[in-house]
């Protein structure tokens, strides 16, 4: 009977620990999602599904946005992606887009201005 009670208590303790751990993780995910939404509104982001659908008027040029997070990209900003090798007789290569510097790397303009320049890090 003692073994059964110990096993039940151990199971309840582990379940409670995992519940608290998942609740904490969900809270941090919610905070990061709220932060991303605020930054997206601040930068004036756009919903990628509205830009990259077939209903877009072909006479209007599409804005440069990240297809993952919808952030507007400047002319010098780029996307992080990889291209896989074609398999067999495939003539097309498929590109996997990971995102821009805002969503893939999580770097903001303020963090870039605080980064040391390469010439500053060299010491004579």
Tens of pLDDT, residue by residue over 59-88, are 877 778 888 877 778 888 888 888 877 777
d(CA 63, CA 74): 10
Looking at every residue in the chain, the average pLDDT score rounds to 76
Between 112 and 20, name the one with better pLDDT: 20
**pLDDT surpassing 80 at residue 113:** no
Q: For residue 97, give Cα distances in angstroms to 41, 49, 83, 112, 124.
A: 22, 15, 9, 22, 41
Rg (CA), the chain: 23
Q: Name residue 81's beta-bridge partners.
A: 97
Average pLDDT over residues 1-30: 88
- CA torsion through residues 58, 61, 67, 69, sign: negative
State residue 124's pLDDT score. 46
């Amino acid at each position: 009977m003692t073994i059964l009670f110990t096993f039940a208590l151990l199971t309840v303790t582990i379940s409670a620990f995992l519940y608290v751990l998942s609740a904490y993780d969900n809270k941090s995910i919610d905070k990061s999602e709220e932060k991303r939404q605020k930054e997206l509104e601040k930068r004036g982001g756009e919903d990628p599904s509205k830009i990259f659908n077939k209903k877009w008027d072909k006479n209007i040029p599409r804005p440069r946005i990240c297809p993952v997070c919808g952030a507007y990209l400047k002319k010098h900003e780029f996307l992080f992606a990889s291209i896989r090798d074609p398999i067999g007789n495939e003539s097309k290569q498929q590109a996997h887009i990971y995102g821009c510097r805002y969503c893939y790397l999580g770097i903001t303009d303020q963090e870039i201005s605080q980064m040391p320049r390469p010439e500053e890090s060299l010491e004579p």
